[in-house]
Amino acid sequence: MPLTIAPCRQLCDWVRTPGSYDGQPLLACRGCGSQWVRSEPWTPAQADGSRPYAVLEELRRPASPSSPSG
Ligand SMILES: [Zn+2]
Protein backbone atom coordinates (compact mmCIF):
# COMPACT_ATOMS: atom_id res chain seq x y z
CA MET A 1 0.00 0.00 0.00
CA PRO A 2 1.29 3.47 -0.78
CA LEU A 3 1.93 6.04 1.86
CA THR A 4 -0.54 8.84 2.27
CA ILE A 5 0.96 12.17 1.35
CA ALA A 6 -1.26 15.20 1.67
CA PRO A 7 -0.46 18.87 1.22
CA CYS A 8 0.67 20.07 4.62
CA ARG A 9 -1.02 23.05 6.14
CA GLN A 10 -0.52 25.02 9.29
CA LEU A 11 -1.68 22.14 11.43
CA CYS A 12 1.23 19.85 10.87
CA ASP A 13 2.47 17.97 13.88
CA TRP A 14 4.59 14.90 13.20
CA VAL A 15 4.64 12.00 15.60
CA ARG A 16 5.78 8.41 15.73
CA THR A 17 3.05 5.87 15.14
CA PRO A 18 2.81 2.31 16.41
CA GLY A 19 2.89 1.13 12.83
CA SER A 20 5.64 0.45 10.35
CA TYR A 21 6.07 0.60 6.61
CA ASP A 22 8.51 -1.46 4.61
CA GLY A 23 10.10 -2.58 7.85
CA GLN A 24 10.74 0.94 9.04
CA PRO A 25 9.05 2.97 11.75
CA LEU A 26 6.14 4.91 10.37
CA LEU A 27 5.69 8.55 11.25
CA ALA A 28 2.51 10.46 10.60
CA CYS A 29 1.27 14.02 10.62
CA ARG A 30 -1.66 14.58 12.95
CA GLY A 31 -2.55 17.72 11.07
CA CYS A 32 -2.95 16.58 7.48
CA GLY A 33 -2.63 12.82 7.71
CA SER A 34 0.56 12.45 5.67
CA GLN A 35 2.80 9.50 6.39
CA TRP A 36 6.57 9.22 6.20
CA VAL A 37 9.40 6.78 6.63
CA ARG A 38 13.12 7.59 6.52
CA SER A 39 13.56 6.10 3.06
CA GLU A 40 11.30 8.76 1.58
CA PRO A 41 13.20 11.35 -0.48
CA TRP A 42 11.56 14.26 1.32
CA THR A 43 11.63 15.46 4.89
CA PRO A 44 8.49 16.46 6.76
CA ALA A 45 8.16 19.84 8.40
CA GLN A 46 6.18 21.10 11.32
CA ALA A 47 3.61 23.83 10.89
CA ASP A 48 6.28 26.42 11.68
CA GLY A 49 8.67 25.02 9.08
CA SER A 50 11.03 23.39 11.53
CA ARG A 51 12.05 19.74 11.40
CA PRO A 52 9.87 17.61 13.65
CA TYR A 53 11.70 16.10 16.60
CA ALA A 54 10.34 12.65 15.78
CA VAL A 55 11.73 12.93 12.26
CA LEU A 56 15.17 14.11 13.39
CA GLU A 57 15.27 11.30 15.89
CA GLU A 58 14.46 8.79 13.17
CA LEU A 59 17.06 10.22 10.78
CA ARG A 60 19.73 10.09 13.46
CA ARG A 61 19.09 6.44 14.09
CA PRO A 62 21.77 4.26 12.46
CA ALA A 63 20.49 2.69 9.27
CA SER A 64 20.64 -0.88 10.41
CA PRO A 65 18.81 -3.71 8.68
CA SER A 66 16.18 -4.43 11.35
CA SER A 67 17.96 -6.30 14.04
CA PRO A 68 18.14 -4.13 17.14
CA SER A 69 20.83 -6.15 18.81
CA GLY A 70 22.10 -3.60 21.16
ZN1 LIG B 1 1.06 17.68 7.68
Show pLDDT as tens, one digit a residue, over the chain (70 residues): 788 877 666 789 999 999 999 999 999 999 889 999 999 999 999 988 899 999 999 999 887 666 555 5
Cα 44 to middle of ligand 1, angstroms: 8
pTM for the model stands at 0.76
In the prediction, which pLDDT does 30 show? 93
Within a domain: residue 32? yes
* Residue 5 within a domain: no
List strand residue ranges (DSSP E) for 22-59, in order: 24-29, 35-36
* CA 27 to chain centroid: 3
- 41 in any annotated domain: yes
**Which domain covers residue 21, as residue numbers?**
14-60
CA 12 / ligand 1 centre spacing (Å): 4
How many structural domains comprise the chain? Answer: 1
26 inside domain: yes
Q: What is the Å distance from ligand 1's center to 25 Cα?
A: 17
Quick check: is 69 in a domain? no
- Asked if the structure places residue 68 within a domain, the reply is no
Residue 43, domain member (yes or no)? yes
Residue 52 lies in a domain: yes
